[in-house]
Amino acid sequence: AATPAAIPAIGAAGAVIGMPHIARAAEFELKYGNNLPLSHPLNVRANEAAERIAKESNGKAVVKIFPNNQLGGDTDMLSQVRSGGLTFFTPSALVIATLVPVAAINAVGFAFSDYDQVWKAMDGKLGAHVREAISKVGLYAFDKMWDNGFRQMTSGDKAINSAADMNGLKIRVPVSPLSIAMFKGLGAAPASLQFSEVYSSLQTRIVDAQENPLPIIQVAKLYEVQKFCSLSNHIWDGFWFIANGRAWKGLPADMQTIVANAINDAGVAQRGDIKALNQSVKADLESKGLTFNQPSPDSFRAKLRDAGFYGEWKGRFGDEAWGLLEEAVGKLA
Ligand code: X2X
C-alpha cells in the first residue's frame, strides 16, 4: 500500500503528536496512553493540551498521545506508567483502585446524584484524599479529575427495569474489585474484562451486557452489539490524569507549571464536553437502534443494602474516606 506523503498529526506508531512541525528533538518527550477512541472528548481535549504544552514550552516539552489501547489494555498501561515506560495515563477511578483501593470511593453504587455533588467532592476534600493516596504509590495525580460519566447498563436480550432483571445476567465490568462486588450484590454474574475486549466479547456473546456512560457507548459503537439501554446512573466514574512520579519530579518547575496548567484546564473543558454530550447522545443512540428505559434506583439500592454491600465497602474504604463521601452525598449505609 502507498504511504501517504504526510499525515502531519499521526506519527509512525500511530501516535498523535502535539506539535509535529517542530523538527528538533524535544528535551522532554512525554508519552501519554489511554483506552478510548480518538473521537472521545478525553482525546480531543488531551490533544489540545499537548498543542498548548508544545507552544508554551517552545517545543521543549512534547506530549505524544497513544489512544485507544495502542499500548495495551488498562492493566498494561498501569504497569507502564508505574515503571516509567509511559509518562501519563488516565485510568478510571475503578481501575486505578486495583493499585490504590480508596480511589474507587467515588464509584460506590448510587452515591452521587448529580454533577454539582460530584465536582464539589472531587475538587474538594474527597479528591484531595484520593490524590494523597495515589502519591503514596509513586504516582502524581493532577488536581482536576476528568469525566467519564454516570454509568448506564446496556443489554442484548431484554431491558433491565429493576434489580430482579439482573439475576444471573452475564455482564462485563471493568477490571475492578468494586465493580465485581457491586454486580454480585445485585445478583448478576459479572466478568472483569479490559475495555479493549468489550466490543468483541459482546459480539461473540461471551457476555450479554455491559455498563458505561453514554458517550463511551457512542464512540465505541456498542449500539452495534447491544439492544437495550437502562439509564441506571449506578456509578459516577471519572479518570485520574496521572504521571509517573519520577518523571514528574524530573521536570523543571517551569515545565511542571506549563504542563499542569494545560492538563488541568483541558480536564475542566472536557467535563463540559461530557455534560453537553449527555444531553445530545441519547437521541443519536436511539436513532442507531438502542431502546431506552429509566428504572427507579430503589430496587437496586435495596438489593445492595440487603446484600451488605454498603456495610462491607464502608469497612474496606475506612471511616475517613467514607465520612468524606457521606459529607458530599448524605448518609449511605
Ligand atoms: O473500561 C471501561 O468500561 C471504561 C472505559 O469506562 C473505563 O475506563 C473504566
Ligand 1 binding residues, C-beta < 6 A: 35, 92, 94-95, 148, 174, 195, 212, 216
Q: Render 235-257 in DSSP notation, one character per residue.
A: EEEEE--EEEHHHHHHS-HHHHH
**Of 215, 225, 219, 114, nearest in space to 172 by CA:** 225
pLDDT beyond 60 at 262: yes
Q: CA 221: distance to chain centroid?
A: 17
Distance 92 CA to ligand 1 centre (A): 6
Helix, strand or coil, per DSSP, at residue 1 = coil
The strand order across the sheet containing 189-192 reads: 189-192, 170-173, 209-212, 146-155, 228-239, 291-293
Q: What's the pLDDT score for residue 9?
A: 42
Ligand 1, atom 9: closest residue by C-alpha:
92
pLDDT beyond 60 at 253: yes
Probe ligand 1: pick from 92, 182, 219, max atoms within 8 Å of CB?
92
Q: What's the pLDDT score for residue 17?
A: 54
Distance 243 CA to ligand 1 centre (A): 19
Phi-psi region of 5 (alpha: psi -120 to 50; beta: other; left: phi over 0): alpha
Q: What's the pLDDT score for residue 1?
A: 35
Which residue do the cell numbers 430482579 mark?
164
Q: What is the pTM of this model?
A: 0.92
What string of H, E and C letters represents the secondary structure of 143-154? CCCEEEEEEEEE
Ligand 1, atom 6: closest residue by C-alpha:
212
Q: What's the pLDDT score for residue 84?
A: 97
All 3 cell numbers of residue 75?
492493566
Please identify, by atom number, the ligand 1 atom nearest to the C-alpha of residue 176: 9
pLDDT digits (tens, 9 = 90+) for 108-125: 999 999 999 999 999 999
Q: What's the pLDDT score for residue 16?
A: 54
Ligand 1, atom 1: closest residue by C-alpha:
195
Ligand 1, atom 5: closest residue by C-alpha:
195
**Of 64, 62, 60, nearest in space to 32 by CA:** 64
Distance 213 CA to ligand 1 centre (A): 9
Distance 56 CA to ligand 1 centre (A): 32
Return d(Cα 234, Cα 294) in angstroms, integer. Answer: 12
Q: Are 251 and 28 in contact (CB under 8 A)?
A: yes
Q: Judge if ipTM > 0.85.
A: yes
Please identify, by atom number, the ligand 1 atom nearest to the C-alpha of residue 194: 1
Ranges 4-8, 29-33, 57-61, 312-316: which has the least confidence = 4-8
pLDDT digits (tens, 9 = 90+) for 4-56: 333 334 444 445 555 555 456 799 999 999 999 999 999 999 999 999 999 99
Return d(Cα 210, Cα 201) in angstroms, integer. Answer: 10
Q: How many CB atoms are located within 10 Å of the residue 227 CB? A: 14
pLDDT beyond 50 at 222: yes
